[in-house]
Structure 1
Amino acid sequence: MTYRTILVNLNIDGPVAPLIDFAIDLATRFNAHLVGFSAADIALPIAAPEAMIDGETMGHQREEIEERIKKMRHQFESAAGTNVSREWRDGVANPTRLVIEMSRVADLIVTGCEDDFTLGHSERFINLGNLILQAGRPVLVAAKDAKRFFTNTALIAWKDTREARRAVVDALPLLCQANEVVVVTVDKETDILAQESMSDVLAFLRRHGVTASSKIIENKHESESLVRFAKQMGAELVISGAYGHSRVRELIFGGVTRSLLAEDGFSRFLSS
């Protein structure tokens, strides 16, 4: 198993140089085809239904978006050069909707994380919740300003759920490159079911050539315990199932997913 196509989402308002380098490094590792992607939409004015839309203003917005995308494409193609197989895709449209549609071309989606990943201008930035929970592809959120992808130490945030099982399988190509892998679960108390679950995961990984150890943390505060342990072990990559629920028209994260994404000192790999 490997990644044949990687899509990197570049938010139009950047900065994007570190993320481009990060994606190129990752594509080079797997000899993968790299798809650069960027999109933004025209912001509609908030006005009464009978108000006229200013066509000139809308036209200026479109020109600004197209010019910014043009420069970003040049930046992406210049950085990639002939080192990797690559292509470019873009659009003047809602970026979250379009990148979800474009996920059909990729094995893996790479993106950055804004300081507040649930808010912001929906016409300029992707909604990470909708992307991760709707794309049907694993999403790798790069560590802040990271130019290279490091997997010396990887942590698997384990719970015996569909999402976590999916994440372990999706992350196998990365786990096979890691020097140290630790499977961690947090529970109020250690029981036989948790121990059996961990043993099965370790055996599954071992059959795929991944040597891992396990750690059961007895604590009722799952999010805080996971993040604290990840920092203590110096994890460069944290793998987790992504959990969320609906809130009217958008999808929002559960507590563990939200806490992991708030920590930008390591890369985060999420599947749903």
Structure 2
Amino acid sequence: MGYKSIVLNLDIDGMVAPVIKFGVDLAQRFDARLIGLSAADVSPPVVMEGGVAFEGESMMRQRKNIERRIEDLRCEFEGLAGATVDTEWRGAVGNPTRLRIDTARVADLIVTASPEGASSGNVHRSTDIGNLILQAGRPVLVTSTNQEHFVANKALVAWKSTREARRAVFDAMPFLQMAREVRVITIDDDATDETWNSLTAVVAYLSFHGVKAKAEVFPEKSDGQVIADVADAMHADLVVSGAYGHSRFREWIFGGATRSLLENDGLNRFLSN
């Protein structure tokens, strides 16, 4: 089991060299095809009291600037990756999140860095990672800041007996099989026999796949930060978790634990839905 097609998300703004090198490292490990993808959209006209703020000429300039930037990213991607792994490039002017979700159909795994700088939170220039995770139908690995090589010596599995957590464990199996230490934890201040039975079952399932894991319950309220704190304490290289959220008027609302993980740029976060 492995990842044979990895889509590497490159936001149009910010420094992309670290995540390209990270993607190359993964592609080499799994003998995978690495698909570089970048997209951004022209900001729509804004009607203000004095009239339209962005007219057609301004929008054309935006489009040309986006096209030039995407070409620069293609050159950087091919320069860093083309000589070492099998690659493909996809760049387009359009809604970045929607295009990335559409491209997920050719992926076993999506790799992305957190949006940074001016693009962060700009729906026209950066990926809505929450939306991507919940709609792509593929696992998403969100890299830690500026990490160039993938390390998975220590992996932490945030476990709940849910469809999302089961999916995440299955999807992350190639990484878990690489790890020397795997801890499966549940945050529960009122753990029952059923809680421990669930943990025992997932540890047994992992052992069927050659993964030695230890189970632990942390008797605390799940305030969203505990998982990240445990990961920091064990110096985890990777956190595996189900992604929990729901749609409401086209906004994606995450639970506390998922939101905290997405906001922790010091961790490699593997999320499935």
* TM-score, normalisation: structure 1: 0.96
Match of 2:71 in 1: 70
Q: Which amino acid aligns with 1:113?
A: S
Between the aligned partners of 2:257 and 2:20, the Cα distance in structure 1 is 28
**CA 115–81 in structure 1, closer or farther in 2 if over 3 Å, else same:** closer
1:5 aligns with 2:9: no
Q: How does 1:1-272 map to 2 (within 5 A)?
A: 1-47=1-47, 51=52, 54-114=55-115, 120-272=121-273
Between the aligned partners of 1:252 and 1:16, the Cα distance in structure 2 is 28
Between the aligned partners of 1:222 and 1:264, the Cα distance in structure 2 is 18
Between the aligned partners of 1:170 and 1:39, the Cα distance in structure 2 is 26
Q: Residue 176 of structure 1 aligns to a residue in which SS?
A: helix
**CA 115–59 in structure 1, closer or farther in 2 if over 3 Å, else same:** closer
Q: Which amino acid aligns with 1:158?
A: W
How much does 1:82 deviate? Answer: 2.1
**CA 115–80 in structure 1, closer or farther in 2 if over 3 Å, else same:** closer
How much does 1:252 deviate? Answer: 2.4
Q: Residue 235 of structure 1 aligns to a residue in which SS?
A: coil
Between the aligned partners of 1:213 and 1:52, the Cα distance in structure 2 is 59
For residues 24-74 of structure 1, give each alpha carbon's deviation from its aligned partner in whole angstroms, at most 9, with x where no partner exists: 001111000000000000011211698596221111111100000000000
Between the aligned partners of 2:218 and 2:115, the Cα distance in structure 1 is 30
Number of residue-to-residue matches in the alignment? 271
List runs of 5+ in structure 2 lacking aligned partners: none
Partners of 1:113 and 1:142 within 8 A in 2: yes
Q: Which amino acid aligns with 2:135?
A: Q
How much does 1:115 deviate? Answer: 5.5
How much does 1:221 deviate? Answer: 3.0
How much does 1:228 deviate? Answer: 1.4
Q: Which amino acid aligns with 1:155?
A: L
Between the aligned partners of 2:44 and 2:57, the Cα distance in structure 1 is 13
* TM-score, normalisation: structure 2: 0.95
Q: Which amino acid aligns with 1:100?
A: I
How much does 1:262 deviate? Answer: 1.5
Q: Residue 223 of structure 1 aligns to a residue in which SS?
A: coil
Partners of 1:186 and 1:222 within 8 A in 2: no
How much does 1:251 deviate? Answer: 1.2
How much does 1:81 deviate? Answer: 2.7
Q: Residue 186 of structure 2 aligns to a residue in which SS?
A: strand
Identical columns (%):
51
